[in-house]
C-alpha cells in the first residue's frame, strides 16, 4: 500500500471514530422487575421505582362504580394482551380520577404480582414521550402509562407529541403500552382558548380541530362529577369503618356536612381530607 492510500485509510478511520463518538447512544433497557410502579424523570432518562404507592382501595371509591367497572375491565383486557383503549378520565377536581387509576392497578397486581407496571409521566415531560416509549418497547412487561392533570395552554405545542403517540405516528404506540390521562378539561384545553382561536381564524372549524381532536384519540372517555350528599356521607362511613374512626363518640355526619361548607364542594377528596382531620383529632394513625 502506497503512502497516498495509507493517508486515505487514516483519514477514513478518524472520520469513522468521530462519527461513532457523536452518534446517539442506544436507549437503555429499563429494569422493571424492581417495582410495580415507577415515575419517569425525563431530565435523567430514568424510571424511578416507587415502592409505596399512595393510593386508596377500589372498594372505598364510592359514587364512581360505573367508571370503576369500565376502567377495570379495559385495564384487565390490556394486562392479558387483549385489545384495549387509551382512556381519558375527565371532570371535576377531587372526584377520584387519579385514585381510580392507581386503585385499578392495585387490584390487578394483587391478583397476579408483576402483571402490569404503572408508570407516571409528569405533564411537563410529555415531549419526552417518544423516548420513553422507545425504552418501554424493549421490555416484555405490560406498561400502563399515566399522566395526571393533563391539559394544554395556548401556544403549547407539546400536545403534538402525545397526539402522534396515541394514534397518528408512524411507529404508533407499542403493543405493550397503554396510556391513561386525567384532566379537568374534556378537550384538554380551556374553553376561552377554543373560542379565541375560532373567532380569529379564517376557517374557524379548522383552527381548533387539531387541538380538540387530541381528546378524540382516547378511545375511552369517563366523566366524573361532584357527588350528592348521600354518596358523600357513604364515603365518610366507609373511611371511618376502615380506619376505626367510628368509635370516637363523634357525630361524623354532622361534622362532615359542616366540613363541606368550608370547602364549597362534596367530593372524594373532601371526604378524605375530613377523615384525615378526624383521625388527627382522635390521635389515630391512618395509612393512605
SS3 state of residue 19: helix
Let me know: does 115 contact 79? Beta carbons within 8 Å.
yes
Rounded distance, CA 163 to CA 136, Å?
18
Cell of 202: 379564517
CB atoms within 10 A of CB 190: 15
Q: Name the one residue in this structure whose C-alpha cell is 375527565.
A: 90
**CA atoms of 96 and 273, how far apart (whole Å):** 13
Say if CB 273 and CB 235 are below 8 A apart. Answer: no
Identify which of 241, 223, 239 has the alpha carbon closest to the alpha carbon of residue 62: 239
Which pTM value belongs to this model?
A: 0.81
Beta-sheet strands, E only, within the chain: 37-41, 46-50, 87-91, 117-121, 143-147, 177-183, 220-224
**Domain extent listing, the chain:** 37-224, 229-282
Of 143, 88, 150, the closest CA to residue 125 belongs to 150
Digits of tens for pLDDT over the chain (288 positions)? 565 666 667 776 776 565 555 545 555 667 899 999 999 999 988 999 999 998 999 999 999 999 999 999 999 999 999 999 999 999 988 999 999 999 999 999 999 999 999 999 998 898 898 889 989 998 999 999 999 988 877 666 677 777 767 765 556 678 999 999 999 887 776 655 555 544 544 444 554 555 566 778 889 999 999 899 999 999 999 999 999 887 767 889 999 999 999 888 899 999 999 999 999 998 888 875
Beta bridge mates, 179 = 145
Q: Supply the CATH classification number for the domain 37-224.
A: 3.40.50.300
207, 209, 45, 47: which is closest to 127 by C-alpha? 45
Within 10 angstroms of residue 54's Cβ, the number of other Cβ atoms is 10
**What's the pLDDT score for residue 167?**
65
Taking alpha carbons only, the member of 275, 184, 277 closest to residue 226 is: 184
Cα–Cα distances in Å, from 228 out to 149, 168, 276? 23, 40, 21
Measured CA to CA in angstroms, residue 272 lies from 95, 103, 116, 239 at distances of 11, 15, 27, 8
Q: How far apart are CA 149 and CA 60, in angstroms?
A: 22
Amino acid at each position: 500500500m502506497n503512502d497516498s492510500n495509507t493517508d486515505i485509510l487514516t483519514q477514513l478511520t478518524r472520520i469513522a471514530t468521530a462519527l461513532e463518538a457523536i452518534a446517539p447512544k442506544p436507549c437503555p433497557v429499563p429494569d422493571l422487575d424492581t417495582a410495580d410502579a415507577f415515575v419517569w424523570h425525563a431530565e435523567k432518562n430514568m424510571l424511578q421505582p416507587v415502592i409505596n404507592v399512595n393510593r386508596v382501595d377500589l372498594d372505598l371509591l364510592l359514587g364512581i362504580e360505573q367508571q370503576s367497572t369500565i376502567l377495570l375491565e379495559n385495564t384487565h383486557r390490556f394486562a392479558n394482551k387483549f385489545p384495549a383503549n387509551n382512556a381519558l378520565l375527565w371532570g371535576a377536581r377531587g372526584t377520584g380520577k387519579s385514585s381510580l387509576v392507581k386503585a385499578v392497578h392495585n387490584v390487578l397486581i394483587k391478583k397476579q404480582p408483576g402483571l402490569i407496571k404503572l408508570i407516571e409521566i409528569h405533564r411537563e415531560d410529555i415531549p419526552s414521550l417518544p423516548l420513553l416509549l422507545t425504552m418501554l418497547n424493549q421490555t416484555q412487561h405490560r406498561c400502563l402509562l399515566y399522566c395526571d392533570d393533563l391539559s394544554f395552554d395556548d401556544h403549547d405545542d407539546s400536545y403534538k407529541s402525545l397526539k402522534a403517540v396515541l394514534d397518528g405516528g408512524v411507529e404508533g404506540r407499542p403493543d405493550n403500552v397503554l396510556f391513561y390521562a386525567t384532566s379537568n378539561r374534556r378537550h384538554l384545553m380551556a374553553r376561552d382558548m377554543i373560542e379565541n382561536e375560532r373567532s380569529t381564524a379564517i376557517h374557524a372549524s379548522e383552527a381548533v380541530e387539531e387541538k380538540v381532536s387530541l381528546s378524540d384519540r382516547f378511545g375511552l372517555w369517563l366523566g366524573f362529577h361532584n357527588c350528592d350528599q348521600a354518596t358523600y356521607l357513604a364515603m365518610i362511613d366507609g373511611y371511618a369503618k376502615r380506619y376505626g374512626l367510628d368509635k370516637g363518640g363523634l357525630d361524623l355526619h354532622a361534622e362532615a356536612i359542616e366540613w363541606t361548607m368550608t370547602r364549597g364542594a362534596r367530593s372524594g377528596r373532601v371526604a378524605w381530607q375530613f377523615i384525615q382531620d378526624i383521625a388527627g383529632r382522635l390521635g389515630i394513625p391512618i395509612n393512605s
